[in-house]
Amino acid sequence: MKKKHPILKTVKRIWFLIAISFTIWLVYSYQAKGVSESFLQGSDIISVKDNDDYFLFEPKQKFDKVFIFYPGAMVDPKAYVPLCRKISENGIKVYLIKMPWRLASKGYEIPKQLDLFADKTKTYILAGHSQGGKMAAQFVKKNPNLIDKLILIGTTHPRDISLANSTIPILKIYGSDDGVADERTIFQNKSKLPATTKFVKIDGANHAQFGYYGFQFGDNSARISREKQQYKTLKSILSFINQKPF
């Protein structure tokens, strides 16, 4: 039996250690950071639920809009709780979906499986960050009659599919300093979206600050605070949601 060369064995061990270290770093870096537990407590205007499938923020007063959010790949869904709660505080029911293995590619059909679109009197807005945006676009492609508006945040997608013929309003929010979903690639894929798509650029924004988590591999440093980036994202989302369909 041929013995393995000692140098080859050493190289394999080094690569194994690098892979393990990188995985540990990913898990740590993509954990939610700076999210107060108060964000998961109810108030006079909304109730909050946390179960195995989603975080739910529901207005106590009558509402007519439902917002469903897909997290980025590997990111702790809790990292998007501040944004989703603030959206709900504006009279919108919000589902923040918890993806299997933290991968939207594995769970993007969850809202349909849970029958979240049962009430036909409501307006349904689907949104996602990064890979969550990719799979939100995929959901709309497969289920064009279930979603009334689509919001893509910090993503170069759709890239492998086309929504150019979609008739629903679409918003794309991106950061000028996003190293993961850079502006050049975003506009390379512009033809995959309808001509009516609205693009919103947030100057100084990077990729990770669309959520509350650590530094993301491949990203750039932001030139604005997380709070300012979140505020501008929220403002753009609410303006788009409340805008009458064309």
Q: What is the pLDDT along the chain (246 residues), one digit of tens a residue?
A: 555 566 766 666 666 556 554 555 555 568 999 999 999 999 999 999 999 999 999 999 999 999 999 999 999 999 999 999 999 999 999 999 999 999 999 999 999 999 999 999 999 999 999 999 999 999 999 999 999 999 999 999 999 999 999 999 999 999 999 999 999 999 999 999 999 999 999 999 999 999 999 988 899 999 999 999 999 999 999 999 998 765
Q: What residues contact 41, with CB distance under 8 A and at least 6 apart?
A: 48
Residue 144 identity: P
Here the CATH number for the domain that contains residue 186 is 3.40.50.1820
> Would residue 10 count as lying in a domain?
no
Interval 46-55: pLDDT, tens: 999 999 999 9
Minimal CA–CA distance to 216: which of 171, 186, 175? 175
Asked if 80 and 136 count as a contact pair (C-beta separation under 8 A), the reply is no
> Would residue 168 count as lying in a domain?
yes
> Would residue 72 count as lying in a domain?
yes
Which SS3 state, helix, strand or coil, does residue 107 take?
helix
> Would residue 26 count as lying in a domain?
no
Per-residue b/e over 129-145, b at no fewer than 16 CB within 10 Å? bbbbbbbbbbbbeeeee
Residue 21 identity: S
Q: What residues contact 21, with CB distance under 8 A and at least 6 apart?
A: none
End-to-end CA distance of the chain: 72
Interval 92-122: pLDDT, tens: 999 999 999 999 999 999 999 999 999 999 9
Count the residues in the chain.
246
Instruction: Specify the pTM.
Output: 0.90
Structural domain tally of the chain? Answer: 1
Range of the structural domain that residue 53 is part of: 31-242
> Would residue 67 count as lying in a domain?
yes
> Would residue 115 count as lying in a domain?
yes
DSSP H helices, 146-222, are 183-188
